[in-house]
Structure formats: C-alpha cells, structure tokens
Amino acid sequence: MQVLSAHAPLCLSEGWQCLSTPAGACATPASVDALMPTHAQWIDAPVPGTIASALRLSGVADEALAQPFAHSDHWYRVKISGDGKRRLRFNGLATITEIWLDDRKLLESDSMFIAHDVDVELDGEHTLHLCFRSIAPALAAKRGRARWRPKLAQPATLRNVRTTLLGHMSGWCPTIQPAGPWRAIELLGASRTCIDDVDFRTSVDGRDGILDVTTRFFHAQEPAPLRLECGEGQAALQWQDAHTLTGRVRVPNVRLWFPHTHGEPSLYAVKLGDIELGDVGFRTIEVDRGADGKGFQLVVNGVPVFARGACWTSADIVSLDAPRDKLEGIFQLIRDAGLNIVRVSGITLYESDTFYELADKHGVMIWQDFAFANFDYPDDEAFRSSVHREAEQFLARTRRFASLAVLCGGSEVHQQAAMLGLPFDAYQQRLFTELLPNAIAAQRPDVAYVVNSPSAAPGDTVSMPFNTRGGITHYYGVPAYQRWFDDVRRAQVRFASECLAFANVPDDVALRALPNPRAHEPRWKAGVPRDPGSAWDFDDVREHYMQSLYRVDVPRLRYENPERYLELSRAIVADVIGAVFSEWRREGSTCAGGIVWNLLDVRPGAGWAVIDVLGAPKSALHGLARVLQPVQALILDEGLDGLDVHLVNETAREIRARVELTCLREGAVRVAGGSCDIVLRPRSVQRVSSNALIGAFFDIAYAYRFGPRAHDATHVVLRDVETGDVLSEAFHFPDPSMGERRDIGLKVSVEKDDEGWSLVVETAQLARWVHVVDPNYHARIDWFHLAPGGTKRIPLVARHANVRAAPEGDVCAVNALRSATYRAA
C-alpha cells in the first residue's frame, strides 16, 4: 500500500535486538532476563528479517548460516511508545510464535503465512517481545497417516507445519532454516488519519476500466466528502460508517496492462483526495485449452501469449526479504532477456508487495503456487481453517496487482503420488479441488487456476499428471533425461511450468566465491544440484550434451584445460536452451509456454539458476535472450527439407521486413544465399523455407551428404525495410562442434557516454558465443554470435554500486584463437 507517510502505518524496523536460547529454556520474557543476566548475548536484528540475517549483520559468514535455526528458540525485543489505542500488525512470523507486550502474552501463531492484527492500549513506553519457538514439537505431533512420503524435504512431518520448505531440502538449497519476523511489523494509529486497509478490485467493461475501492481508517473520521481519482476517471466516495469509504470509478478508454512482450504494462495512479493509494492496471486473463480441451495458453486482453520465464526461489535466502533495488535489478534482467512470466514455486513462499509492484511495472506475469509441495497434506478442520485464512489473506493482499496471472494449488503433489504408484483418486486432495479454488472464485475470479504443477488437463483421469501431451507438464526430456532434440517435438508439450534444468556455470567472478573453483572437486560438487536419491547430478547432464554436440573428451578436457572446459560448459547450455525454445516458438508448435528451472541461485556454484548468487546473468539467460524477443527470427533444421526460418511478431503493429540468408564457409566466404521481403502481421508466426530464399537446391542442413560440407554456418538477418535496422538475427551450424580455434580478427574498443561505459566489438570472421570477461562489470548483451564484418555495441553494467574502476578485461569467442583485450583510459 503506497500511501502518503502521514496516513501510513509506522513500520517498526529500528531498535530490534535478538538472541537464541535452547528450545524451551525460557517460558516468558522475564525468564530470558534471568537466564541471560547481561546484555552481551543480545545482538542487533534487522526487521523484517530472520535470526540468520541478524547473525549475518553481526559478521557471521554466509557458509556458517546453514543451521537448523527452526529447532531452537529465538527471542526478539524492541521498545515502543504511545498513548491510547493502537494496532500491531505482524505481516509474517516464522513460524511457531508467541507475541508478548511487557509481561502479557498477546497471541500465539503457528503459521509462517498468516498475518495477525493485535489491538493494544499503550500508556507510555512498553517492551514488545517475540519468541520464535522450536518447530520440533509440531513435527512430532500426530496428525493422521500420510499416504506417501516424499524425499524432497525432511522430515516427512513438515507436511503438518505451515512453513516454507526452503532450508529443509538438503541438496537443493542451503539448510538455512527460517526463524524470525520475515515480514514487516507495523504500528497503526499514531496518526488520526492512519489508513488501516485499502482494497482495490479492477475489471474491464468494454473499452472502460472499472475500479472498486474500499478504504478503512483505523480511527473514526469526520464524514467529509472525498473524491477518488484514477486516470481520467473521478467519482465521489460514500461513507459506509465512520471508518469505511467505498466507491467506484470508471476510467474511459482505458489503456490495458499487457506483459511487456506483447504491449505496454500500463498503470494508473489512484488518489483519494490528496492521499496517494498506489497504482493499478486493468486487464483480462483467460485460458485457451484448445480444440481438444487439453491445452493451456494464457490469453491476455484477448491476445494469445507465449509465456516464457523462470521459476523463482528467493532473492535473499538468508533474510527472505530482498530490498527494492535488488529486486528492481532482477526484473530488469528478466525484461532484457525477453521473459514475461515468473513462477513462484510451492517449495518457496508468498512474495512481497514490492515484488508484485515491480512485476506490474515491468510487465511480467506472475504464476504463484500456493505454498504446498510434494506432501500428502492433513485434512482436519484446524488445518483447513488455517489454510483458508492463509489463502484469503494472500488473495486480498495481492488483489490490486495486474501481474498476478496464474494461481496454482502447489508443486509436484500429483506427480509425487503418481510416481509412487498411487491411482488418480488417491491424490485428489480437497485442499486443491475445493478449498483453494473456492477461495480464488470469491477473491480473485480474474486469475487462472491450475490444480497442481504438473497436472493433467481438467477431466482427464487417465493420463499421468506429468504427461507432456496435455495439461501442465514439467518437461525434462531435454536436458535432465538426456534425450535428443527430436524429443522436444515428439513430446508435443502443451505448457511446461518447469523445464531445462542445467548445472549452469557462472562467470569467473562468481566462481571465485567458491573455496575451490576447480570443477569436480568435492567443494565444487557441493554447489551442483541433484535430485534426492539420484546417482547422477546436473554436471553430468551438461557434460552429456557437451560431449554429444561439441564432440569433446569431457573428462580429459576438464583436467587438461579447465578454462576451456568452463567456457564450453557455458556455451553448451546457451545452445541447448536456444534449440528447445526455438522449437516451442515455431509455427505449428503445440507449446504455449515454458518456464525454466530456476531464475536465481541461492548459493555459490554451478546451480540451476540463470542468474548467479551475485546477481549477474549467466550464459543460460543470455541464451534465452537470443531466442525470446518479441520480434524474433528462429532457424529449425528440417533435415531433407533444409532449414525453416520462423519469424515471430508478437507486437500489435505490422512490420515490413526483409529476410536475408547467407551460408558461410570458413567463417567469412559466402557460398549461397538469398532474400525476400515479407510483411509480418501483428501477433503472428510465419515460416519461410531456405529453399525458397535461395531459389535452388543447396544442402543447407548437410542432410544429403553427397560430399564434403560446402559451408559451416548459416546466418539469417531480419531487417526493417524502411529503416534498415536489424530486428533479429539467427544462426545455424550444420556441424555444431567447435573444431579448431583460429584467428578470427576479433577487435574491441571502449566508449563512454551519459549512459555509462560500452564496448564496441568487431570481427573479421564469424565469432561464436562472444562473451565479456571483466572483474568489475558484466555485459548487458553477452553470449551471442557475431557475423563476419559485424559490429555490436555492448553496454556494461557495474557489478555493485560502489564500482569506481574503469572497464578492463577481455572479449572472447569460443572459436577464437585469442581474445581481444580492452582497457579504458
């Protein structure tokens, strides 16, 4: 809620201290003082935050924070003052919590995901204590018998406790168990005009937007007339009682909110008199399930959207509350890469208002799982009541955000049960089929609901929940199961809410955060993800494709030339990711979306994510950016039929373009080619064959093999006819192996303007997977191919805010014999 400070609650973020005690050692705040007679044990604590973030603030190293904090007790305290009626609002407490004011217990909470309001009478200065109790007794309590026991998180009785699985999944993330006030604590009532709550409900009526607003003040107000403003719309609000205002405003000819790939994420400021209430967007979301009822495509404002993105973990695994500037940087990377959806998985938690505000601003759709994963959950009245409150609070809190597009019952519950041999009826939990969808129907009927991720299409009781040809799937044929690229087409994926997990190697700066950055050392392997119980990890997966495509002896390369091993490791994931998404975006594809596992690493090393633990993009994210732009040229190898060029135009405008195709030998010599003018219709995908472009037979895919290959690369340029600007480029290599490196004439110069530093890169011959190596900057455009005679301007981004050094480093290409060194004057 972005209200003016005079009307906003007071955030209790300063002056907190905390200490840890053995579980059950202290029953009351007074007993803490008796047990700890000195103040030496109390340390300063950030709030919102966790006991782990308090220890980090005190100087404890990150690697020492992987502790079972949830199995001890942790006390927080702060002084508050005031006179009269106040309301304490606790937005998130992890997890079994007691709230004390002076020596009086006000409340007990047993859910990390429920907010609490407590009304108090203040009379001068008071001490507020929070005690976060060990979850061990709750884990030991009997609550029915589970029908299956997953390996994902231990112990199995975590199903009974409403807490995140982050910190409880060995091998997936650091074992930093959350404990503490992980969401803001607020004090309401200090101002007579303090706003208790603002509720927005938006809808679209023809060409107009409709905004319904309910505003509640903490104290009774004089019923003065107030007007509501939203864009060009204004309306008088009505007092329902001395605390509550309601009203409706119609915004004529409203600009609709779109994901940034398909339009503008238009937002409108809302004002109540002189009070700024925040921004809202207007949009409609529907699901197109196709003629057979088994598909899943998001349709925003009547426009079918190919959804592509990544799964969210946490931007700060220690505090669980990342600052706005860090989240802003992440959303900028998402947008630059052409991603338009982020899935918050059920193994994590519900993200902050700031997260959703930035998603609205940047035009990124959010798929939010409810915080359930893998388990057979209880079905008793107490559990259902807690979950109902959890769902209603989350839905009410996020009701104003246009970016919330999909709500999902949870992660891999259906899949877990099915893979353990249970029949369909055994895993149909009322939690997912009744409780959650009923809450959504009442609170957010404008958002799509998916029963589970993955899950079969509605009404399909025969297919496995992870089948690819209908419903929502987690597609890992490529890469985890080491299938070849033809499996991508044969699988006929309709929508992949998880896909393409690799052990993605970060750049050298991030690797230096490892105690030993040599691949396959024990400490390297500690940062490589694996599925619980598997005999292989995701290094093995990446190396399979490196050996298959690049035809290298991977074990020998790893120990003889570790730098080359890391370089090819980064290149291969960009190659594979590009191939899969090119297939999914082609004309005639059955797929309407793919969400990569994962967006953000939560520890140093070759993790699943496409952004490393320091916030820099990996080669995988740049590989996605090469194939996921709104206007995009893609190349598909159709074997004996040659190459097909697929031209994507997701924008609302018609584009008059020229398609230029060139086949190159030895990286520079043109041996075949052709071009044609084409009109790219709005919201369309069109196919042009290489045969039609060249106008004669040429073995462009090297499928007939009548003799030696006549070329080693094909380059396609999509160019605006009117301006001559390059709209998109694509490359194909009939032999993807790297072969011998040679001198390709790579050059680089450094420039600076009002926007900052940039590199200008040139090459005489084709440069494959050009990348920048700089200790103080990362490249905004990186891991790309550069055609012979081509030039690319690359903006540089400082790795952290206090960088003062000028750029200095190397521009490399995986087929170049030597790099191009630069150093700014």
- DSSP alpha helices (H): ranges in 282-408? 324-336, 353-362, 381-397
How many residues are listed for the chain in this entry?
825
Q: What is the pTM of this model?
A: 0.97
pLDDT at position 693 is 97
CB 152 within 8 Å of CB 532:
yes
Q: Indicate whether 104 and 233 sit together in one domain.
A: no
Is 642 contained in some domain?
yes
* 536: CATH: 3.20.20.80
527 occurs within a structural domain: yes
Within 10 Å of residue 275's Cβ, how many Cβ atoms?
A: 17
pLDDT < 50: residue spans in the chain = none
Peptide bond into 791 cis (omega under 30): no
pLDDT for residue 33:
81
pLDDT at residue number 484? 95
Main-chain dihedrals φ then ψ at residue 91, nearest 5 degrees: -85, -15
Q: Is residue 382 domain-shared with residue 419, that is, in the same domain?
A: yes
Q: Which residue in this structure is represented by tokens 């976060």?
A: 132
Q: Are residues 469 and 340 in the same domain?
A: yes
**Residue 57 host element (H or E):** helix 51-57
If one counts the domains in the chain, the total is: 5
In this structure, is residue 177 part of a structural domain? yes
Residue at a domain's end among 602, 625, 648: 625
Q: Please check whether residue 500 lies inside any domain of the structure.
A: yes
Does residue 755 share a domain with residue 815? Answer: yes
| Residue whose C-alpha is closest to residue 564's, from 572, 722, 368, 178 | 572
Q: Specify the pLDDT at position 487.
A: 97
Residue 38 has phi, psi (to 5 degrees) of -105, 170
Q: What is the spatial distance between Cα 63 and Cα 793, in angstroms, rounded to a whole number? A: 39
Residue 550 is assigned to a structural domain of this protein: yes
Residue 644 and residue 540 in one domain: no
Residue 622: which H helix or E strand, with range? helix 619-625
Q: Pairing mode, if any, of strands 404-408 and 448-450?
A: parallel
DSSP string for 651-668: SSS-EEEEEEEEEEETTT
Same domain assignment for residues 173 and 246: no
- Whole-angstrom distance, CA of residue 107 vs CA of residue 117: 10
740 within domain boundaries: no
- Tokens representing 459? 């009404």
- pLDDT, tens only, 9-50: 999 999 999 999 999 999 999 999 888 766 568 999 999 999
In degrees and rounded to multiples of 5, residue 379 shows phi and psi of: -135, 25
Tell me how far apart the alpha carbons of residues 478 and 500 are, in angstroms, rounded to a whole number. Answer: 7
Tokens at 120, concatenated: 């108090």
88: CATH: 2.60.120.260
Choose among 170, 161, 173: nearest CA to 71: 161
Residue 5: predicted pLDDT: 67
- 518 & 617 share domain: yes
Same domain? 154 vs 227: no
Sole residue written with tokens 């805010």: 801
Task: Give 352's DSSP letter.
Answer: P
Does 565 fall in a domain?
yes
d(CA 69, CA 562): 38
Asked if 558 and 434 sit in the same domain, the reply is: yes
Cα 545 to Cα 358: distance, rounded to the nearest angstrom:
36
Residue 271 inside a domain? The answer is: yes
Last residue of a domain, one of 280, 299, 321: 280
**Domain containing residue 779: CATH number:** 2.60.40.10
303 and 273 part of one domain: no
Two tokens, residue 745: 């004439």
Do residues 21 and 169 both lie within one domain?
yes
> What totals of helices (H) and strands (E) does the chain contain, helices first?
17, 42
pLDDT of residue 38: 63
- Among the candidates 675, 709, 732, a domain finishes at 732
**Strand extents, DSSP E, 708-814:** 713-720, 726-732, 747-753, 756-762, 767-773, 777-779, 784-786, 791-798, 808-812
Identify whether the C-beta of residue 794 lies closer than 8 Å to the C-beta of residue 746: no
pLDDT one-digit tens code per residue, 358-406: 999 999 999 999 999 999 999 999 999 999 999 999 999 999 999 999 9
The answer to whether residues 361 and 465 belong to one domain is yes
Range of the domain at 561: 285-625
CA dihedral over 170, 175, 181, 183, signed as positive or negative:
negative
The partner residues of 118 in beta bridges, in order of sequence, read: 88
